[in-house]
Amino acid sequence: MLQREEIEKRAVNRRASTVAIATRASTLKNMVAFVLGGFRKPGAGAKSVAPEPPEIESPEGSPEVPVRPKSHGRVKMTQSMLEGTDAMERASTPTQQEMEERRRSSRVARKSLAPGSVDAMSIMTSTAAPSGGGFRRFRRASLSMSSGLLVDVYGTGGAMGNKPNADEVMAVAAAASGVGKGSGADIEKGMAYESPVKPSARQRASGDDSDVLPAWIRNDVSLHMFPPGHPVRMQCLEILSSKIYRYSSIVAIALSCFTVMMMEPVGVKSDYDTMILSVNAAVMVYFLFDFLINVIAHGFIFTLEPYILNGWNTMDLVMLIIDVLALFKWAKYYEYGIRAALSLRPLRLLNRFESMRELFGAIIKTMPSIVSVFMLSAVVFLAFDVFAVQQYSGKFFSCNDDSVNGRYDCVGTTIAAIEGAPSAFEIAVPKVWDTPFHNFDDAGRGMLTLVEVASLDEWVDVMFDAMDVTKLYEQPQTNNSWGGAIFFILFVAIGSFLVVRTFIGVFIDQFGFISGSKLLTERQKLWRDMRRIIETMKPRPARLRPTNPFKRLCYDITEHPRYPTVALVVITLDCALQMTYTAGQSNNWAQLLRSMDALFTIVYFLEIIVRFFAYRRFRRWVSYNWNLFEVVIAVGSLFTIYAEEGSGSHSAGRPFRFLRTFRVIRFVPGLSTLLNTIIISMPSLISVVGLLLIVMFIYAGAGTQLFADVKYGESLNRHANFKTFSSSGKLLFQVMTAEGWRGLMNDVGVDYPYCTATPELNDCGYPMSSTSYFVSFVIVCTYIFTNLFVAAILDNITFGLLNEAAIVQPRDLMKFQEVWESFDISATGYLKIHRLGDFMEGLGAPLGRTRPFPVGFLQPVYYEAHYMHVEGKGVPFTPLCETVLNARLGLTALTYDVRKLREAEVEEIFEYGASVVIQKFARGFLVRSRLARLASINAAARSAGSGEL
């Protein structure tokens, strides 16, 4: 079922056919009319020519330029444009009330109007624009055209900021399309008839048109009681869109997750049981209230945007049912399942955080491509499994008494020493003919063993057992069969190094395609990353040389060319000194190290003082994050000065001594660039970390409830177990690194007779549950999420930024920021338009002006600077930086959809720039002519006066 916005959009577009309203000739005519409008007197000339635009005083003798209407706006090149122009089209789509009010007037005669590339809704929407905003709304709609043709329906009237009425718009549209001439009312009469085009069978079958929906769905009545516009329904929608609701939902989810962490395993009493039950009840009531508000606002099922057909809402409903079930007492068997299901509570966060929801959707979209690789992996594993079962089935069995020859001799008892005890402690144990957990007795067990070997976790143990096999029912002998080594080495090379890595590579590659990064060229990636750096940049107050002698001395020290080198040498010596600490060092050497450490700490304090007084303003000093970082390190290092070894002060100062090493980054440009790039990509990495924590939370909560009572084994012990939520999380982090997960899985899956299984005491595990639990966790976390970090880094970091041969580098943007400081001393964020030439010359290559400089490069920059100029302020910082970057990289650095928008914007900019140039020359000619006439009159007057004398 379609969403409401899509249904409204398609319904309107179906009734409104496209209209050919102008050509490039009409665009040129509008531009000329706009230019000439600056020299016509009000009321003179043709009626289509706009009145004279208001003039402003040009600063410092610069040529006067026409005032561009601020309603133009500027197509902001943001990352969201990479997703297409759908957002701009939705912005020009009327609301439900506006659509109903203009439904009759929006019906267009399909036969009488020629088809064109301009959407008729651009005109219909513009007629209802408020005063002063019509031109902006039309521009926004026209920029979203797929043809990229820029047409100014409003002409000079819209350009001057006057609101044309609907009749004028209809007349222009009719004149351009050849329908005829007349008022808007006459044309509207010709439009007001039902379109003969009926929805096709495919449309009716796919639900592509709202008219084919039943009336009781199109009426959009929630719960058959609340129609659109009902006060109760509007209030519910307002609640859902409020920030208080969003934050309260996050708090409720956090409380529900906290109760899962505090909950003891089934059958274990806790002092917090009453509190946990109360919090669970409160959370259940809150989400029940949330469910009712959503159902009233959107309807449950028979509405245009039903609650139940949204997958995330369905998940919330399932979690609400689990919350209700958790409030009741159940049999122990069912209690296990309900408490394990409570671990799914963090999934509600995905419906509240769009970044994690999009990341989860991207992972799901990679699944179809991964399935083919998974099938290939299954075929390869199956081939090795079939061979291994035929070769090693039943041959991994052995007797716990090495003196026997085979199965039939493995009877009676044998003397065995207790592990970890002196040799004197020996007991008699029965002889057992048994097989290890890794074996090939059947196809299922063999496939599981191959999965374990492919993870490279203790795979050599399996290989050694295969090398010791003899005949069936005979005791294994050391290195009896070297064929086992060849088999497992071949499987590791193919199954692990090739197949598993192919699985990982396809996942990373498909993730890049879905996110769009794999479809970008190197120049497009460079533009994207530069845009991210620009978004983090902001104007800084200029650092001027102080007038105070002491401050001027500090300023000269910090600005000396060799200052970074000296600081880097000091930091390097400090790091080398910290590396000389050893265990058992002499007291004299330890005293020397403490003295040197105190000396370096004092040097860092002196450096901070010098840097502080080198700035004229405290605001300028605080604007550098490195200054604050160094202050924290220096203050923290005070705890280590002459502190006793092992004391609290010495332990508290150790982290700060370690952080002093990172000061190297400040004085090495390459490291600083890499660090800034990583910081810019941190939001995407945070989403990956958040999703990984949700998955680990689910597995930790479920493991605590299912495996807390399992007896200890060889790997499952007091250090790694599921007794508490925290210990479960630590164990899962170990498993995520693929360290010892085989032994943990085998210990958790222990079964009778190797455990006690009585009604009073049951410390047995669950073999099937253990296998499913650990194998799924290894696949999800070890093979997907750990490699998702790699995919996110490759998706967000372009290492071409570190290439010295790149067209534009981050240091060029930093230079832009530094040059801006000298022109905008107070960091207002605006540059006076008359100083643009000096700024571009001071910027230099590659972003600025050099001599000789290409006119084709700087002309668009100057035109766009006039276009984005803010009256009374100047040219803004960030848009100008984007402009010089776009001019240097060119249109090839933009993706196709962004390029089309940029081309349309450039066309409008050049129209405005052409008018500026024409007016500049024309007004210059008029001024020179006026001055010449005044000079001639003055000369004649002087000559006449001298003649009279």
Q: Check pLDDT > 50 for residue 318.
A: yes
CATH number at residue 247: 1.20.120
User: Does any domain span residue 677?
Assistant: no
Give one DSSP letter per residue of 690-722, joined into a string: HHHHHHHHHHHHHHHHHHTTPPP-SSSSSSS-S
Helix axes 877-889, 810-823, angle to 10 degrees: 140
CA distance 859 to 869: 15
CB 160 within 8 A of CB 69: yes
Query: Does residue 77 sit in the same domain as residue 207?
Result: yes
- Of 158-167, 653-662, 736-745, the least confident: 158-167
* CB-count exposure of residue 153 (10 Å: 0-12, 13-18, 19+): buried
CB 232 within 8 A of CB 32: no
CATH number at residue 661: 1.20.120.350
Query: Does residue 39 sit in the same domain as residue 98?
Result: yes
User: Does any domain span residue 523?
Assistant: no
User: Does any domain span residue 246?
Assistant: yes
Query: Does residue 707 sit in the same domain as residue 845?
Result: no
CATH number at residue 925: 1.10.238.10
User: Does any domain span residue 855?
Assistant: yes
Question: Which of 170-174, 316-320, 753-757, 842-846 has the largest mean confidence?
Answer: 316-320
pLDDT at 519: 76
Peptide bond preceding 753 in cis form (omega within 30 of 0): yes
pLDDT at 525: 81
CA distance 324 to 37: 72
User: Does any domain span residue 241?
Assistant: yes
pLDDT at 39: 37
Query: Does residue 888 sit in the same domain as residue 815?
Result: yes
Q: Which of 374, 730, 370 is CA-nearest to residue 514?
A: 370
CA distance 752 to 390: 28
Summarised one tens digit per residue, pLDDT across range 564-573 is 889 899 998 9
Q: CA–CA distance from 796 to each of 83, 512, 672 (Å)?
A: 16, 10, 17
Give the residue numbers spanning the domain of 905: 810-937
Query: Does residue 205 sit in the same domain as residue 261?
Result: no
Q: Which of 593, 597, 606, 592 is CA-nearest to residue 657?
A: 597
| Mean pLDDT computed over 651-664 | 80
User: Does any domain span residue 533?
Assistant: no
**3-state DSSP assignment of residue 480:** coil
Query: Does residue 91 sit in the same domain as residue 120?
Result: yes
CA distance 34 to 32: 5
Phi then psi for residue 419, to 5 deg, are -65, 130
Q: Which of 172, 171, 178 is CA-nearest to residue 30?
A: 172
Summarised one tens digit per residue, pLDDT across range 758-812 is 877 888 988 899 999 999 999 999 888 888 888 887 777 665 555 556 778 778 8
Q: CA–CA distance from 127 to each of 132, 176, 268, 279, 844 (Å)?
A: 12, 17, 71, 55, 47
CA distance 833 to 846: 21
CA distance 495 to 453: 9
CA distance 529 to 519: 15
Query: Does residue 290 sit in the same domain as residue 344?
Result: yes
Query: Does residue 852 sit in the same domain as residue 897?
Result: yes
Average pLDDT taken over every residue of the chain = 75
CA angle 18, 20, 22 (to 5 degrees): 145
User: Does any domain span residue 409?
Assistant: no
Q: Which of 368, 436, 374 is CA-nearest to residue 399?
A: 436
Last residue of a domain, one of 468, 495, 515: 515
Residue 331: count other Cβ atoms within 10 Å of its Cβ: 7
Query: Does residue 66 sit in the same domain as residue 195?
Result: yes
Residue 856: count other Cβ atoms within 10 Å of its Cβ: 8
Last residue of a domain, one of 326, 352, 378: 352
CATH number at residue 694: 1.10.287.70
**3-state DSSP assignment of residue 95:** coil
pLDDT at 948: 53
User: Does any domain span residue 675?
Assistant: no
Query: Does residue 115 sit in the same domain as residue 173?
Result: yes
User: Encoding tokens for residue 376?
Assistant: 């290939």
Summarised one tens digit per residue, pLDDT across range 844-889 is 888 877 655 555 667 788 888 888 888 888 889 988 988 888 888 8
Query: Does residue 857 sit in the same domain as residue 933?
Result: yes
| Mean pLDDT computed over 186-193 | 35
Q: Which of 63, 74, 172 is CA-nearest to residue 878?
A: 74
* Count of structural domains, the chain: 6
Phi then psi for residue 717, to 5 deg, are -145, -165
Last residue of a domain, one of 213, 240, 275: 213
Query: Does residue 731 sit in the same domain as residue 785?
Result: yes
CB 122 within 8 A of CB 142: yes
